[in-house]
Amino acid sequence: MTDAAVVAEGLVKDFGSVKALDGIDLTVQRGQVVGLLGPNGAGKTTVVRILSTLLMPTSGYAKVAGFDVVKNPAEVRREIGLTGQYAAVNEYLTGRENLKMFGALYHLPAKYVRERSAELLEWFELSEAADRPAKTYSGGMRRRLDLASSLIAQPSILFLDEPTTGLDPRSRLGMWDVINGLVADGTTVLLTTQYLEEADQLADQIVVIDHGRVIAQGTAESLKDQIGGDRIEISIIDPARVGDAVDAIRSVSSGDPVVDGLQISAPVSGGSTVLVSTIRALDVQGVEVGDIVLRRPTLDDVFLSLTGHVAEEATPPSEKPKRGRGRK
């Protein structure tokens, strides 16, 4: 545990009759990126808010940078940076003024804030826009400014709560580069995301949660190995034939098929020959196929196998983000 930046044991959080967390255990080693993966409403944001001292747990225990989040919240806050799901910047201040504001909230020396702000603005490619109001920034620029604000005090531990939500693909890739750069410089990152590809690309370890519980954890590759080798995936035309298609795929698969609307997938063995067997089985059932693919498993397959549903779902009231960053 000496190398653990974050340790949580048995975290429970109730919102009235809703149990947002139901006994979460979590460890983040120093210098690692740990991806907290799950659908909206699974409890990811609640975990982050407890670890960043913005929420009190109903029960359980957590330490961040060696400090108890309940007993020593001020010490925890000095060690962390936090970026929420939505860019928490003041639209009427310039980029530079936003950074100055956050430096003041941390009670940092003015000279340090000026120098650190210039460094961050250059690093996040915001120097040319530094003296423009943030309301003139694009969505990607606001997210970069938001992340820069969380780094003004050079935190050793960074909580990123769905940092690429709402970004276009190019901006998302840019944010991935920034996160990789932070980790290369020694920052520990706890990343929550519902984007499976994002967790696959960034995380050293992945913790999958659903309905407030940890349902799986490990590296991306070890999680993929849990559901076997290749996957067969088909899309059918007629919704009334889903049952027949499942029966056909079950006859050639090495595990139970997973249904997602008109798309059905299952683990298989035998390489490309299984494509021929699957087509024959579907033909026997008289099922018309729109598409058929044989591929290696992804984290999407892991999530579907573990939960029976896809990662993106509606956000229940207990998980909806509040306005603003909520810094202390």
pLDDT tens per residue, range 10-32: 999 999 999 999 999 999 999 99
Tally the C-alpha atoms within 13 A of residue 232's C-alpha that lie toward its C-beta.
31
The pLDDT, as a whole number, for residue 230 is: 82
Q: What is the pTM of this model?
A: 0.73
Q: Domain boundaries in the chain? A: 4-219, 228-296
Quick one: 117 exposed, middle or buried, by C-beta within 10 A (0-12, 13-18, 19+)?
buried
What stretches of 204-241 show up as alpha helix (H) in DSSP? 220-225
The pLDDT, as a whole number, for residue 319 is: 40
pLDDT tens sequence across 59-105: 999 999 999 999 999 999 999 999 877 778 899 999 999 999 999 98
Residue 211 CB partners (closer than 8 Å, separation 6+): 22, 42, 43
Residue 261 has pLDDT above 50, yes or no: yes
198 vs 307: CA distance, rounded Å = 19
Amino acid, res. 143: R
Residue 322 has pLDDT above 90, yes or no: no
CATH topology assigned to domain 228-296: Alpha-Beta Plaits (3.30.70)
What stretches of 152-219 show up as alpha helix (H) in DSSP? 169-184, 196-202
Percentage, residues of the chain above pLDDT 70 = 92
CATH topology assigned to domain 4-219: Rossmann fold (3.40.50)
Residue 120 has pLDDT above 90, yes or no: yes
- Please check whether the two domains, 4-219 and 228-296, share a CATH topology: no
pLDDT tens sequence across 268-294: 877 778 889 999 999 999 999 999 998
